[in-house]
Structure 1
Amino acid sequence: MLSKAMGFRNLGPLGLFAKEGLEKAFSLGKFFCFLHVTDTYLVTFVVTSGPSMLPTIDLIPTMFLGERISTRFGKVTRGDIVIIRSPQNPRKLIAKRLVGMEDDTVTYISNPDEPDKQETIVVPKGHVWIQGDNAYKSNDSRNFGAVPYGLIQHRLFWRVLDLSGNTDVSVLYDSQVKFNEIQLHKSPFRFPLSLLSLFSSISYRTICSSSLAFLS
């Protein structure tokens, strides 16, 4: 008995249609794999909402790019704005200013209404101290203590869009934020412009599936 392999061409027009469909499905699969790897290991969109980072970040929903490279390699530093998984509610992401690293001695005002009452803490190993820029409306390390470094998810480095159309990244780094009598200034993270162009062109559907961080 003779047998003959049946290829797409042997199936006529239906076979060509099936081949084209499989090729498109394969290309689409590669695209979504690329998006998954990018979102998991490199860069993701983050939408913030809430009052705790005023005036640096608006009260209204604002979109940022958050990078994961610095967090994975331990390169975040004091003054960075980071997205952290809430130690009080693991389902919730919060955006705060990184104020102290492990072994730092942090002196802080636990109650903004009583500025003369200060407390001092040494940040434990493997932990960081986070605070909101708006001390009067921020639930942060002053309430729940230092948080494990592993809870840091992203480091914000680019304001993509807010309702006023502002995309200025300098507000994240050049604004003078005063913590414990120390004035913080930081140069922006230099992300390759070619990658910025690529991520800016990602579809609206991808943007809508971005992380949501609350400024509480």
Structure 2
Amino acid sequence: MARDKENKKKNEWLDWIKALLLAFGLAFLVRMFLFAPIIVEGPSMFPTLHDRDQMIVNKLSYTIGEPERFDIVVFHAPTQKDFIKRIIALPGEHVAVEDNTLYINGEEVEEPFLNEQKENLQSYQTLTNDFTLEQLPGNYDVVPEGHVFVLGDNRSNSTDSRMIGVVPMEELVGEASFVYWPFDRIHLIGKGE
């Protein structure tokens, strides 16, 4: 009788240990291959994202799909940490900005996420300094295959493709689309936002 109780208790402990190991294993797999948290550092994506916003990065998005214009992505930067920026141009596209207007392959492209910033500009201010892809690191005519061109939404305070060049797609960690902290900023982020 006492031995049965002892075995039952031992089996209970083994069941708990198995359950915990399974939970940790699943959490590790989810974190490693599907989703990961990231904390926004700095003002480069303001006003879309704020410094210290905490987000979930969908690592699976580019395993099963391709990046799209205006996706907000996390990528391994040439420095020690990951960056978070917005995809502006895709492989095979020419990018330029003139008088605060984005041009892809010579055609004007609306950036609705910048409307509020553009409305608040004084006549003497510039949101994005003029540039063409040829003037930037790499001296490309078009974004090369397997790469994307990224910019921060806070164009005057962002280290992005204007300084670091185009980003290889294999450096993309995933798409950031959900802010979960702070509570008053919880929301999904759309492409045009």
The aligned residue for residue 103 of structure 1 is: 92
* Correspondences of 1:8-23 after superposition (within 5 Å): 11-23=3-15
Task: Indicate the RMSD between aligned Cα atoms, in angstroms.
Answer: 2.5
Q: Match for 2:54 among 43, 60, 63? A: 63
Residue of structure 1 aligned with 2:73, choices 82, 100, 116: 82
CA 1:76–1:10 in 2, change beyond 3 Å: closer, same or farther?
farther
Q: Name the TM-score, length of structure 1 as normaliser.
A: 0.66
Helix, strand or coil for the counterpart of 1:51?
coil
Count residues in correspondence.
160
* 2:191 alignment partner in structure 1: 173
d(CA) in 2 for partners of 1:114, 1:27: 54
> Who is 1:188 aligned against?
none
- Flag structure 2 segments of 5+ consecutive residues without an equivalent: 99-124, 134-140
Shift of 1:156: 1.1
Paired AA for residue 171 in structure 2: L
Q: CA deviation at 1:83?
A: 0.5
Residue 174 (structure 1) shift: 3.9
Q: What residue in structure 1 maps to residue 82 of structure 2? A: 93
Q: Percent of counterpart pairs with the same letter?
A: 23
C-alpha deviations, 1:133-163, integer Å up to 9, x for none?
111111111001111100000201212122x
Q: List gaps (5 residues or longer) in structure 1.
A: 1-8, 176-216
Specify the code of the residue in structure 2 equivalent to 1:122.
Answer: V
Paired amino acid for 2:86: R
The equivalences for 1:123-202 within 5 A come to 123-162=143-182, 165-170=184-189, 172-175=190-193
Instruction: Output the TM-score relative to the length of structure 2.
Output: 0.73
Q: Which moved more, 1:97-106 or 1:63-72?
A: 63-72
